[in-house]
């Protein structure tokens, strides 16, 4: 009874506390994980910023395209001619361009009061980058936009 082999009990040294130890992460492990997350964020975040600006540019182009597609009908409903020239649209309320964008035409593009477009080409400019759009009469559906 007094023997250790019979009872299966083994005394532990005073320096080994593995049975009492609380499980968790060491400070070094946490620092390594934080460094990895920071490295991944440094690679991904610039791409997200570019993706956001590309998305907003695409949304603005789609808005311009929708406005151009319905411009003849809106001119007809208004009953007055519209001219788009080097200064933009003669009546800005019919062609509202997003902030930072510019639509010009040289030679001018005319929409008659009955909504018929005489055709031509437009230049859509954003951040100094032009995009040319062709308008074929009589409806002038824009060609060259996404």
User: What pLDDT score does 17 carry?
Assistant: 57
User: CB 31: neighbour CB atoms within 10 A?
Assistant: 11
**Residue 144 contacts residue 132 (beta carbons within 8 Å):** yes
Q: Could you tell me the pTM of the whole model?
A: 0.66
Chain-wide mean pLDDT for the chain? 87
What's residue 15's pLDDT? 59
- The residue among 90, 113, 92 whose CA lies nearest residue 101 is 92
- Is there a contact between 74 and 94 (Cβ–Cβ < 8 Å)? yes
- How far apart are the C-alpha atoms of 86 and 126, rounded to whole Å? 15
Check: CB of residue 121 under 8 Å from CB of residue 135.
Answer: yes
CA–CA dist 72, 139 (Å, integer): 7
* pLDDT > 90: percent of the chain: 64
pLDDT digits (tens, 9 = 90+) for 99-122: 999 999 989 999 999 999 999 999
pLDDT tens-digit readout, 124-137: 999 889 999 999 99
- Whether the CB-CB separation of 122 and 104 falls below 8 Å is answered with yes
Label residue 144 by pLDDT band (50, 70, 90).
confident
**Per-residue pLDDT tens over the stretch 67-92:** 999 999 999 999 999 999 999 999 88
How crowded is residue 104: how many other Cβ atoms within 10 Å of its Cβ?
A: 17
């Amino acid at each position: 009874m007094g023997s250790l082999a019979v009872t299966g009990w083994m005394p532990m040294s005073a320096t080994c506390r593995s049975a009492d130890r609380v499980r968790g992460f060491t400070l070094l492990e946490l620092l390594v994980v934080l460094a990895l997350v920071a490295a991944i964020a440094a690679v991904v975040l610039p791409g997200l910023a570019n993706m956001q600006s590309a998305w907003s540019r695409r949304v603005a182009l789609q808005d311009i395209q929708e406005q151009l597609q319905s411009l003849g009908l809106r001119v007809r409903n208004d009953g007055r001619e519209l001219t788009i020239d080097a200064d933009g649209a003669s009546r800005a309320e019919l062609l509202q361009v997003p902030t930072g964008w510019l639509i010009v035409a040289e030679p001018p593009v005319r929409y008659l009061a009955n909504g018929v477009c005489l055709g031509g080409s437009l230049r859509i400019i954003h951040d100094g980058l032009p995009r040319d759009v062709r308008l074929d009469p009589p409806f002038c559906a824009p060609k060259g936009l996404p």
